[in-house]
Structure 1
Amino acid sequence: MAGRIRNEDIALVRERSPIDGVIGEYLQLRSAGGGNLKGLCPFHDEKSPSFNVTPARGLWYCFGCGVGGDVIKFVQEIDHLTFSEAVERLAAKAGIQLRYEEGGFTPRQDGGQRARLIEAHKAAAEYFAERLAAPDGAIGRKFLSERGFELADAARFGVGFAPREWEGLVRHLRGRGFADRELIMGGLAKEGRRGPMDRFRGRLLWPVRDLGGDVIGFGARRLYDDDDGPKYLNTPETPLFHKSNVLYGADLAKKEIARSRQAVVVEGYTDVMACHLSGVPTAVATCGTSFGDEHIKILRRLLMDQDEFRGEVIFTFDGDSAGRKAALRAFADEQKFVTQTFVAVQPDGLDPCDLRIRHGEAAVRDLVASRTPLFEFAVRSTIEQHDLNTAEGRLAALDAAAPVVAKIKDRSLRHMYAVNLDRWLGIMDEQFVLRRVRELSAREQGQNGRRGQRPHPQAQQAQQAQAPAPERPSYDPRDPEVRAERELLKFAVQRPGMLGPVFDGFPGDVFLAPPHAAVRAVIAEAGGVQGAAGAAEWIGRLRETAANDQVRDMITQLGVEPLLVAPEAEDRYAVALLARIQERQVNKQIADVKSKLGRLNPAEQAEEYGKLFGDLVALEQQRRMLREGGLGSQ
């Protein structure tokens, strides 16, 4: 068993893994000024971005959920890996051969569970792709050809073929050193009467990748008429694959989604291929499940979904009744986006794949371009179920469509759709329709209020009695003095060269907030600001020196949080902060001297009194100079 990864290799992995590039694989980052980047946090749901990345210092921190760290920590958190597994994954991407303490360049044979499963899926994808080109893969090639896809298209998307063998993949992966339990755990095999057997047999395979590009599962399409299994068979829930958390094609579409601020949601693997090949490279699809909350979170991060109505999420559905029902189901999720949501439905019922075959690639682009706002689609689809040629039919349509309009949360948008509803119905009484929508909206809000109403006072008191009292900090973070020392510590972490020996001369008890004192102690233990080298190396040393995660998180936060001053004023601001903390220290000394003088008798202890009085005068002069220097630096 290999030992610990060498420290110099870990440092090299950090150096060769640009934090903005690694994090950018999972969410869109935009400039936040001062060399910082900002995005929507992948670790909690939020409306506006509080996730900050500082490439110059190799740090990230979310001010919303309080999680942060370096590039290794991010990979640990996002993919649920151990420290060693995260280092190994980054090293593999950067082309770094790791060395272990117990010898040589031998990689760990007992690599972490996730890393082993990733390697098994990579090998399986290669195996399936090779078998597509083999003689028995002819049926798969025929299926693709009939749908307008060439072998080059299959290679682009990694499409493969699983032969009709009971243990073809199992034997192949055993030969590559994988254990049966790993194949079963990863969903590549399942238990049979005589041991593990291939899960996918006689099917066309699409590899499903995470946002980082690793294969984590497969979608398999039935090919043989005598196959009594489901038309589509997906990888089951595994440590890698959670169908509610993954979008097929997102690894290919993410950059274009971020650039164009558009995402197109289609229903199948071939639809994704057809869209990308037709010039719609923002297409993604769910994997054997309906579009849900976790899919929304993925798209919001990729879209940087914070500016209302600037981005677009376009759902394409079949034109049949099932497709229309799916579109109406999406209505419930629409308002979880900030950007505008659309529906693109082909009137003749063709999906993007069939549309490309019959009418060409331009027709697929036209379908996406002819999108309709989802609210409008939902209202119009409801109206179409009624006969608008009679007064009774129009009233029935109003009663059916008004609740749809009433559910629109944005008041201004709700009013506009109520006006449109009157026009679409041909009632020609705008106030009547508006009144009906307002009544239903008020009723809806009242029901929501009752569902979310507060408990009875006695029950609430009982809940409060059971709940632990919230911890109160031993300092006030809003205190101007505490805020000043926080700003000074940000300089010590981000710009240590600006502070010099003055900062290193401060005693640990000069800081009022205990977390700040703990950071000051770490800085001293790491050699002080005078011994700091490059920004990333210095922060890395501080984080390694920290005694626990709380102090480490505080250092990360101080390293990411912007300085409250323009770059050209940083020198003056640093001097002013140093002077303020020095003055506070001098004030404490003055108070001590005055206390001692108050306890002395000038007549009986004249010599000691005179000495202390001289110290007091010197301290008062020092305080005056500090005030003048600090004010002059502001």
Structure 2
Amino acid sequence: MKVVEVASGHGPIPEEVIENVLARHDIVDTVSKVVHLSKQGKYLWGLCPFHSEKSPSFTVTPDRGVFHCFGCGMGGNAIKFRMEIEGLSFPEAVRIMAEESDIPVPEGRGGALAAPDPERDRLIQAYDLSAKYYHYLLKNTEYGTAAMEYLRNRGFSDKMIDQFQIGYAPDRWDTLLQFLEKRGFDLAEMEKGGLLSARGEGKGYLDRFRGRVIFPIANRMGKTIAFAGRIFGEGQPKYLNSPESRLFNKSRILYNLHQSKASIRKTRQIVLFEGYGDVISAWDAGVHNGVATMGTSLTEGHVALMKSLGDEIVLSYDGDKAGQAAALKAIPILEASGLRVKVALLPSGLDPDEFITRHGGDRFREQVIDSAVSSIKFKLIYLKKNHILLEEDGKIAYVKEALEIIAGLPSSTEREVYLREIASELELSYDSLKQDCNLLRASMQKNNPEGDNNDNRWNNGRHKKGQVQTPTLLPAYHVAERRLLSLMIQDPEAATYVGERLGEEFNIDDHAAIAAYLYAYYAQGKPPGISRFLSSLQDDRLEKTATAISMMDTPPDWSTQVLDDCIREVRKYPLQRKIEPKREEMIQAEKSGDFLRAAQIASEILALERQ
């Protein structure tokens, strides 16, 4: 049994597992959980989730099992899509997808090695050791005494502190620095990974976190990849997060996902909080499907990650104006992705952590989480607070704005429920409200542009500035190399023919590398197929290039004449490159009056042209 060895602390993954994962995770099903797809010809099209665009250039090819964006160049199979959307390494993505499909992942040894990533492994090891060190300092040294008292005053028990591995960074500049240096870690690498800060050019390093309670941030596999430090005395900022690194992208990471994913998968529901303390207190109260966005705004990356895990989101934000405004902002982003949204209502001024401390976990679960209202109900409640309903002007203004919310609902049943509720509450005619609602709805549908290129599409803002690349005319040798590789991907016999006559003598390095991988791939007796072949590459650049090549409209049938013509074009290019400087050299010789040298060069050029 062939095995792909991975150097990420997760052990080897048998190739049979990778093939089963690709077989069980259909590319269309995988992508459509994140991107709205429409069929046009043999492709499914949508707006790219990896760069901002208004006209769809993102495609899925079901029969080949790949996705490709003609705008930004991103492409690959279902595993690659999950890796990019959720910020996972290859083995992490494979294991998660295997778990979702009940595919066992046995441990073993041997087989071809995947490309190692020692820097990433060292960073993960450093974060793991640092988290344990900070936790030890909090619980077992005098440095952590004040921080421990602060946590206990906030209601954190020793069990909670241990469960979430909360720690403390002493108010000294070299505590972690010395710890890492003694263990042989490269300090420049640790600074790049966000554990240390540079003191200045050539002046060494110092601890990034000082005098703060430390909350480790883990990826969904449970590996610590960043820290959040909270100050518990005077000072700013209140929270300090690790900077973004090759491990940590705050737009794609949810706090506590590694512990909550089992409950989320079981209930298909996610409770979304704003901060670490809320998640930890809620966990202790029995809410084990809670995650947080770590003080940052909800992003498309967060939504994509949640959509891959659940169907319903309960927003449990703070009960103050800022929390309610944040909930209102999050609702359309979540709903546009197809997620159901409910909002947990808290008394004004209280956050979930404070509510649990005052009223206990049982009341929080029953009166807040289990009693969460629909997003429309929340919007109407929020809207009502801005109007004085005892006055006629306030009542009219409220009804006008409420109808704008209700008229947008696609379900006539939902519209009727809310209209009857308003009619009863304000003692108004239901028929009059319904008539006004229908008129408003007709007006909205008339003004709504057709198509799915709305600027507010949920998957249309991964980057603020995205440029769609304009196609350029490729030179003949480049086109010939791509055509050869396209045929080789489709047919091992074509690969054998090209290998015997051209080998790896491609002019473009990436093309030569893909050809070498193809020769090795078929030498192992594997069947043709771009999706499976991509998993053998495990190189971002090569995967994108190979995917783009596989999208070429190359007829699957080929002849030796077609291959020979392409091979001849590929071999011609190096000779052409030799001719160009010789022409320049000949011209210079003629200008200087060295006609004998010019004649010699002309003879060399003629010989090259004959070749």
TM-score class, shorter: 0.5 to 0.7
Please state how far the C-alpha of 1:11 moved relative to its aligned partner: 9.3
Match of 1:235 in 2: 242
Matching residue's letter, 2:132: E
Among candidates 189, 202, 213, match of residue 204 of structure 1: 213
> Structure 1: which 5+ residue stretches go unaligned?
1-6, 51-59, 102-106, 304-310, 455-465, 472-512, 558-634
Matching residue's letter, 2:218: R
Match of 1:403 in 2: 404
Provide the C-alpha distance between the structure 1 equivalents of 2:358 and 2:374, rounded to a whole number of angstroms.
26
Please state how far the C-alpha of 1:166 moved relative to its aligned partner: 0.8
Matching residue's letter, 2:291: V
Match of 1:116 in 2: 122
Q: After superposition, what is the alpha-carbon deviation per residue over 1:315-362, rounded to whole angstroms, capped at 9, x for unaligned? A: 012222222222222233242242321000222543332222222221
Higher relative contact order, chain-length normalized (CA < 8 Å, sep 6+): 2
Q: CA separation of 1:220/1:442 partners in 2, compared to 1, >3 Å: closer, same or farther?
A: farther
Structure 1 residue 286 and structure 2 residue 293: aligned?
Answer: yes
1:30-45 superposed matches below 5 A: 41=30, 45=34
Please state how far the C-alpha of 1:541 moved relative to its aligned partner: 13
Matching residue's letter, 2:229: A
Alpha carbons 1:331, 1:378 under 8 Å: kept: no
Alpha carbons 1:128, 1:160 under 8 Å: kept: yes
Match of 2:423 in 1: 423
Match of 1:248 in 2: 255
Alpha carbons 1:386, 1:397 under 8 Å: kept: yes
Q: Which has the larger displacement, 418-427 or 160-169? A: 418-427
Q: CA separation of 1:349/1:115 partners in 2, compared to 1, >3 Å: closer, same or farther?
A: same
Provide the C-alpha distance between the structure 2 equivalents of 1:20 and 1:183, rounded to a whole number of angstroms.
37
Please state how far the C-alpha of 1:130 moved relative to its aligned partner: 1.3
Match of 1:148 in 2: 155
Matching residue's letter, 2:219: D
Match of 1:436 in 2: 436
1:121-270 superposed matches below 5 A: 121-133=127-139, 134-192=141-199, 194-224=203-233, 227-270=234-277
> Structure 2: which 5+ residue stretches go unaligned?
39-43, 45-63, 99-104, 455-468, 475-485, 500-518, 552-611
Match of 2:330 in 1: 330
Please state how far the C-alpha of 1:38 moved relative to its aligned partner: 7.7
Matching residue's letter, 2:398: A
1:165-564 superposed matches below 5 A: 165-192=172-199, 194-224=203-233, 227-303=234-310, 311-347=311-347, 349-366=349-366, 367-408=368-409, 410-412=410-412, 415-416=415-416, 419-420=419-420, 422-423=422-423, 425-445=425-445, 448-449=448-449, 468=471, 514=487, 518-521=491-494
Provide the C-alpha distance between the structure 2 equivalents of 1:421 and 1:289, rounded to a whole number of angstroms.
35
Q: After superposition, what is the alpha-carbon deviation per residue over 1:597-617, rounded to whole angstroms, capped at 9, x for unaligned? A: xxxxxxxxxxxxxxxxxxxxx
Please state how far the C-alpha of 1:517 moved relative to its aligned partner: 5.5
Identical aligned pairs, as a percentage? 25
Matching residue's letter, 1:289: T
Please state how far the C-alpha of 1:171 moved relative to its aligned partner: 1.4
Provide the C-alpha distance between the structure 1 equivalents of 2:401 and 2:19, rounded to a whole number of angstroms.
46
Provide the C-alpha distance between the structure 1 equivalents of 2:472 and 2:371, rounded to a whole number of angstroms.
56
Matching residue's letter, 1:419: L
Provide the C-alpha distance between the structure 1 equivalents of 2:453 and 2:357, rounded to a whole number of angstroms.
54
SS at match of 1:449: coil
Matching residue's letter, 1:211: R
Give the root-mean-square deviation of aligned CA atoms: 5.1
Matching residue's letter, 2:277: T
SS at match of 1:279: coil
Matching residue's letter, 2:359: H
Alpha carbons 1:405, 1:417 under 8 Å: kept: no
SS at match of 2:316: strand
Alpha carbons 2:492, 2:522 under 8 Å: kept: no
Provide the C-alpha distance between the structure 1 equivalents of 2:364 and 2:211, rounded to a whole number of angstroms.
30
Provide the C-alpha distance between the structure 2 equivalents of 1:45 and 1:407, rounded to a whole number of angstroms.
23
Please state how far the C-alpha of 1:439 moved relative to its aligned partner: 4.3
1:15-30 superposed matches below 5 A: 16-17=12-13
Q: TM-score, normalised on structure 1?
A: 0.60
Provide the C-alpha distance between the structure 2 equivalents of 1:286 and 1:20, rounded to a whole number of angstroms.
36
Q: After superposition, what is the alpha-carbon deviation per residue over 1:371-401, rounded to whole angstroms, capped at 9, x for unaligned? A: 1011111012202322223433221111222
Please state how far the C-alpha of 1:468 moved relative to its aligned partner: 4.9
Q: CA separation of 1:422/1:470 partners in 2, compared to 1, >3 Å: closer, same or farther?
A: farther
Alpha carbons 1:278, 1:362 under 8 Å: kept: yes
Provide the C-alpha distance between the structure 2 equivalents of 1:292 and 1:77, rounded to a whole number of angstroms.
12
Which of 1 and 2 has greater Rg? 1
Matching residue's letter, 1:212: M
Provide the C-alpha distance between the structure 2 equivalents of 1:138 and 1:98, rounded to a whole number of angstroms.
49
Please state how far the C-alpha of 1:518 moved relative to its aligned partner: 1.8
Provide the C-alpha distance between the structure 2 equivalents of 1:332 and 1:550, rounded to a whole number of angstroms.
32
Provide the C-alpha distance between the structure 2 equivalents of 1:363 and 1:236, rounded to a whole number of angstroms.
37
Alpha carbons 1:327, 1:378 under 8 Å: kept: no
Q: Which has the larger displacement, 178-187 or 160-169? A: 178-187
Q: CA separation of 1:551/1:246 partners in 2, compared to 1, >3 Å: closer, same or farther?
A: closer
Matching residue's letter, 1:393: G
Please state how far the C-alpha of 1:151 moved relative to its aligned partner: 2.1
Match of 1:509 in 2: none
